[in-house]
Structure 1
Amino acid sequence: MKKLIIPFVILLILLMACSNEGEKVGNVDHNSDTITYESEKGPIEVPEDPQRVVVLSGFAGNVMALDVNLVGVDSWAKMNPQWKDKLASVEEVSDESLEKIIELGPDLIIGYSSIKNIDKLSEIAPTVTFTYGAVDYLKQHIEIGKLLNKEEEAQAWVDDFKQRAQESGDEIRAEIGEDATVSVIESFDKQLYVYGDNWGRGTEILYQEMNLNMPEKVAEEAQDAGYYALSLEVLPEYAGDYIIFSRIDETDNSFMQSDIYRNIPAVVNNNVFEVNGHEFYSNDPLTLEYQLAYFKKAFLNE
């Protein structure tokens, strides 16, 4: 009798394993239901309901905004003070920490097209990359929504955000004047930069949605590339009536003590708004909401 029972039990276990719709990778159960996402490199099968996403660059805020679970993110995401609690249990990874990523057992990996080891990462989980600037920042969120099977949620947020940002822009222009200019500057690694209208740091909201004016010199030098490196001596030529200074405390900000900087009209008139560079760096929905709230407070005292 025992000889009959033992094979039956083994057969039952095998049948249960075969009937399981999931698969195990890195000791984590993954749902096998998939959708086809049309990526830059062609169609790719991705989870219909991803549960363990790794973001290697740029898109952590997009994924969090759509309430999808993250298990690994890049160092820039981890440095954002606004996300400290949200990412407390999420591992910091890079495109070179393959073993750690394997241990995390992701069912989807997302990053910029410039990341390394894409072929190796694709062996771990479906890996989808995006070229920065290939689409505008709001279409990018909709693409992330498509990838995560949450396009409707992404589109709804985009429609609502555009309306709110444009309405705030109308109020701000009425407050500061239709002709007032705004520039966005940052000091990083002993170099000063000014930014065009699509390089994070609030530029998308200020210039694209609020329709605030960019100083002529900034438009000439920074608009096409997205940013422009300049010396302290010529900074006054690129300074607007209002300045958003994306401050990174870890870098050299001694230029702020110079007479050149102190004599810029925006500085003299107390029209410089300092923001935390780590909080303002990106252009994902969470960061954009934070930036919008900040600009309303800074320009309108709301």
Structure 2
Amino acid sequence: MKKRLIPYFLLLILVSACSNADATKEDNTSDETVTYQSETGPIEVPADPQRVVILSGYTGNVIHLGVNVVGVDTWSKNNPTFAEELKDVEEVSEDNLEKIMELEPDLIIALSTVNNLDKLEKIAPTVTYTWGKVDYLTQHIEIGKLLSKEQEAKEWVEDFKQRAGEIGEDIRAKIGEDATVSVIEAYGKELYVYGDDFARGTEILYQTLNLKMPEKVKENALESGYYTLSAEVLPEFAGDYIVMSKYSDADTSYQETDTYKNIPAVKNGNVIEMQGEGASFNDPVTLEKQLAIFKEGFLGN
């Protein structure tokens, strides 16, 4: 009887040893770090982050790179573009440190203006970015570097630039090289017109599709990024085409006025509408969605 038990005990010891070895291997993998050169200097971050909290507009970048997100800011959580990906993700705030701690993040991504940065850094390595410091495609590559996904980020950027460039050529061939496009947004009771790097599809339209901006928009919105309008002066800022970003609760009474109805772009059916909620992001998930809208809007396919 005792002789029969010996092999069984040996088997248990071997299984236990293997399990311990695997656990040690997993621990070593999760504890491995790399040095990321951030805006504020070198930071030790996980080589393979598993639990990321995002307190910024970079949620779509992280989602697109396939990295697990456990907490996001309110704007990201309420973004319909990310609804499926974030359905089980917690909404967090830079001021609710306890909730962030409960999520046990191994990496936090935030804006450079974030509150409580010193306290966030004690919870997990915290990397901040200044919004607009680099262009929207370079930003994605930077986040790729942070997440050890630089190659994947570069490949998407090159592919996107090529695809969008070809679509831009087709659009300009159809509407004319000199045709102008305005990006206008209805938010609450306000109307805004945007420059070439303020989301709402502006980066794609002006930087990648190489479409032209009306002179009035250049004068008032190119440097500042945006300009507040009244419905009465809307015709002065309207291009041959209008991309209209509308929030669901926006006051759209301006669309019932003769001033609006007599704008050539409106009379010619050259208004491309898109949902305002989520349009203020410029990550790959949002950009792919917007590119499809513009392709359909300008080319009809």
Q: Same fold (TM over 0.5)?
A: yes
Aligned-residue sequence identity (percent) comes to: 61
Conserved? CA contact 2:248–2:277, under 8 Å? no
CA distance in 2, matches of 1:255, 1:78: 30
Displacement, 1:280?
Answer: 2.3
**Does residue 272 of the first structure (1) align with residue 274 of the second (2)?**
no
* Structure 1 segment 148-163 matched on structure 2, within 5 A: 148-163=147-162
Q: Aligned AA for 1:246?
A: S
| Number of aligned positions between the proteins | 282
Which residue does 1:76 correspond to in 2? Answer: 75
Which residue does 1:89 correspond to in 2? Answer: 88
Which residue does 1:183 correspond to in 2? Answer: 182
Which residue does 2:212 correspond to in 1? Answer: 213
* Structure 1 segment 222-237 matched on structure 2, within 5 A: 222-237=221-236
CA distance in 2, matches of 1:99, 1:91: 13
Which residue does 2:259 correspond to in 1? Answer: 260
Runs of 4 or more, structure 1, over 4 Å off, are 19-23
- Secondary structure, counterpart of 1:186 in structure 2: strand
Q: Aligned AA for 1:236?
A: P
Q: Aligned AA for 2:36?
A: Y
- Give CA deviations for 1:224-263 in whole Å, capped at 9, x if unaligned: 1111112222111111111011010123222222222121
Displacement, 1:49?
Answer: 0.2
**Does residue 283 of the first structure (1) align with residue 285 of the second (2)?**
no
- Secondary structure, counterpart of 1:279 in structure 2: coil
- Give CA deviations for 1:41-72 in whole Å, capped at 9, x if unaligned: 00000000000001111000000110000001
RMSD: 1.8
Which residue does 1:192 correspond to in 2? Answer: 191
Which residue does 2:294 correspond to in 1? Answer: 295
Return 5+ residue gaps in structure 1 as ranges: 1-11, 24-28
* Structure 1 segment 38-57 matched on structure 2, within 5 A: 38-57=37-56
Q: Aligned AA for 2:143?
A: I
**Does residue 201 of the first structure (1) align with residue 200 of the second (2)?**
yes
Displacement, 1:21?
Answer: 6.9
Q: Aligned AA for 1:98?
A: L
Q: Aligned AA for 2:66?
A: D
CA distance in 2, matches of 1:225, 1:54: 30
Displacement, 1:82?
Answer: 2.4
CA distance in 2, matches of 1:238, 1:192: 11
Conserved? CA contact 1:72–1:93, under 8 Å? yes
Q: Aligned AA for 2:259?
A: I
Which residue does 1:165 correspond to in 2? Answer: 164
Conserved? CA contact 1:75–1:92, under 8 Å? yes
- Secondary structure, counterpart of 1:161 in structure 2: helix
CA distance in 2, matches of 1:283, 1:84: 16
Displacement, 1:20?
Answer: 4.6
- Secondary structure, counterpart of 1:229 in structure 2: strand
Which residue does 2:11 correspond to in 1? Answer: none
- Secondary structure, counterpart of 2:66 in structure 1: coil
Which residue does 1:147 correspond to in 2? Answer: 146
